[in-house]
C-alpha cells in the first residue's frame, strides 16, 4: 500500500509530460506522425497526407504565438521577422509579406528600422556595413552613414562611411571597401583581441588556437615556423604530433583519419598505447567508484 501514492505520482508525472509534449506538437491525421507545432499551416506540407496544411483547419487556426502572423490569404503563418525584409523570394505563398501597401503600414520589429521607401525593414546592425540591404540603398547612403554611429563593438573604416566588426581588424582579409582595416601602420599599432596573437610581421592577428596546426594562418607563415612550433606548447585539449611541431585536437587521435602531417596520430604504436591508456582510465574510474560506496 505504501507504493500506491508513489505509483499514482509516477503515472501523473508521465501524463503531465505527455500532455506538455502534445501541446508542442501536431499529429498527422492518417498515420499519427508527430510534427512540431510551428510546422502546422506554415505553407509547407510536412505530413504525408497533407493534413497539416488542410485549408479549413488553417483558416480557423491561430498562429502559435505573437512571433508569427497570418498571410493575407488567412492560411499560412510566417515568422514576423520575415515581413517586409526585402527578400525577392516571398515567405508568404500569396506574396503578401512583401506587399507594397502592407509594408508601408507595417511597423518594423525591435532593433530594425524602415528604409526611406517605407517598404523594407533592415536590422540596425546592417546599416552602413558596406552591403545594400534596402532596395533604395538608403542604408548605405554616404550622408546618412557619415552621421551614423556604429553599433556595439563595430568601428568605422577610414572613409567614415562603413562599419566593420572590431574582430576583423588586421585579420589578413579586407573588410573595409577602402582597405583601411588592413593598413600596415594601423595594424602595427593595433592590439589583437583576446584569444588572438600577432604574427611575426607585427601586422596580422590570428587565433591562438590555430598556431602550429599545420595550416598557414599568417601571411608570413610564422605561425607554422619550425623553430617557433618546436618551442611552442599546444593549447588546452591539443597534443603534439610525433614530429614535435604540429598540434592536433586530442579527439582526432586514433580516429581513423590522418590529421598529423607525419601520420603519427593514427600510427599503430601510438593507437595501441592510446587504447590501453583509455582502458586503464575506465578501469581506474570504476575502482574509484567502488571505493566511494
pLDDT in tens, 173-224: 999 999 999 999 999 999 999 999 999 999 999 999 899 999 999 999 999 9
Here the cell at position 214 is: 599545420
227 belongs to a structural domain: no
Which residue would you say has higher pLDDT here, 201 or 80?
201
Looking at the domain assignment, is residue 60 inside a domain? yes
Residue 268 located in a structural domain: no
What is the pTM for the complete model shown?
A: 0.57
pLDDT band at 279 (very low <50, low <70, confident <90, very high): low
Give residue 256's pLDDT: 84
- The number of folded domains in the chain is 1
pLDDT of 40-71, one tens digit each?
Answer: 999 999 999 999 999 999 999 999 998 899 99
* Euclidean distance between CA atoms 101 and 112, whole angstroms: 19
What share of the chain has pLDDT > 70, as a percent? 85
Classify residue 84: in a domain, yes or no: yes
**Of residues 254, 258, 292, the one with CA closest to residue 275:** 254
For residue 66, the enclosing domain spans 26-106
Q: Above 90 in pLDDT, residue 93?
A: yes
| Residue 154 covered by a domain | no
Q: What is the pLDDT of residue 81?
A: 83
Average pLDDT score, the chain: 85
> Is residue 15 predicted with pLDDT exceeding 60?
no
pLDDT of residue 277: 64
193-210 burial, b at 16+ Cβ within 10 Å, e below that, comes to: beebebbeeebbbbbebb
Farthest CA pair distance, the chain: 82
Q: Is residue 64 part of a domain?
A: yes
DSSP at 204: -
**Cα–Cα distance, 30 to 32 (Å, whole number):** 6
Mean pLDDT of 84-105: 86
Say whether pLDDT at 1 is over 60: no
More confident residue, 91 or 106: 91
More confident residue, 77 or 276: 77
Mean pLDDT (whole number) for 240-263:
91
How crowded is residue 104: how many other Cβ atoms within 10 Å of its Cβ? 12
Q: 120-176 pLDDT, tens per residue?
A: 888 888 899 999 988 889 999 999 999 999 988 899 999 999 999 998 999 999 999
In this structure, are residues 155 and 166 in contact, taking their beta carbons and an 8 Å threshold? yes
Question: Cα separation of 40 and 54, whole Å?
Answer: 9
- Give a yes or no: residue 231 inside a domain: no
Q: Distance (Å, rounded) from C-alpha 41 to C-alpha 62?
A: 9
Q: Where are the alpha helices (DSSP H) in the chain?
A: 3-23, 55-60, 100-105, 142-147, 184-189, 226-231, 268-292
| pLDDT band per the 50, 70, 90 thresholds, residue 285 | low
Q: Where is pLDDT greater, at 206 or 2? A: 206
Amino acid at each position: 500500500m505504501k507504493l500506491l501514492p508513489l505509483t499514482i505520482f509516477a503515472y501523473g508525472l508521465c501524463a503531465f509530460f505527455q500532455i506538455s509534449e502534445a501541446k508542442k506538437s501536431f499529429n498527422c491525421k492518417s498515420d499519427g506522425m508527430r510534427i512540431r507545432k510551428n510546422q502546422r499551416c506554415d505553407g509547407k506540407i510536412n505530413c504525408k497526407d497533407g493534413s497539416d496544411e488542410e485549408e479549413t483547419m488553417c483558416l480557423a487556426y491561430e498562429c502559435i504565438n505573437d512571433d508569427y502572423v497570418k498571410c493575407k490569404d488567412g492560411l499560412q503563418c510566417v515568422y514576423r521577422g520575415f515581413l517586409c525584409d526585402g527578400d525577392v523570394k516571398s515567405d508568404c505563398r500569396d506574396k503578401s509579406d512583401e506587399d507594397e501597401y502592407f509594408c508601408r503600414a507595417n511597423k518594423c520589429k525591435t532593433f530594425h528600422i524602415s528604409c526611406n521607401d517605407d517598404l523594407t525593414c533592415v536590422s540596425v546592425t546592417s546599416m552602413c556595413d558596406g552591403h545594400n540591404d534596402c532596395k533604395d540603398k538608403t542604408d548605405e547612403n554616404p550622408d546618412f552613414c557619415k552621421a551614423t554611429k556604429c553599433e556595439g563593438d563595430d568601428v568605422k573604416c577610414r572613409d567614415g562611411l562603413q562599419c566593420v566588426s572590431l574582430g576583423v581588424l588586421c585579420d589578413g582579409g579586407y573588410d573595409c571597401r577602402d582597405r583601411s582595416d588592413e593598413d600596415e601602420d594601423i595594424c602595427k599599432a593595433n592590439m589583437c583581441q583576446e584569444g588572438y596573437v600577432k604574427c611575426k610581421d607585427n601586422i596580422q592577428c590570428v587565433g591562438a588556437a590555430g598556431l602550429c596546426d599545420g595550416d598557414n594562418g599568417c601571411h608570413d607563415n610564422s605561425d607554422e615556423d619550425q623553430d617557433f612550433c618546436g618551442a611552442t606548447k599546444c593549447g588546452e585539449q591539443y597534443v603534439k604530433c610525433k614530429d614535435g611541431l604540429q598540434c592536433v585536437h586530442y579527439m582526432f587521435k586514433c580516429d581513423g583519419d590522418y590529421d598529423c602531417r607525419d601520420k603519427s596520430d593514427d600510427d599503430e604504436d601510438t593507437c595501441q598505447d592510446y587504447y590501453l591508456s583509455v582502458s586503464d582510465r575506465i578501469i581506474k574510474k570504476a575502482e574509484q567508484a567502488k571505493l566511494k560506496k
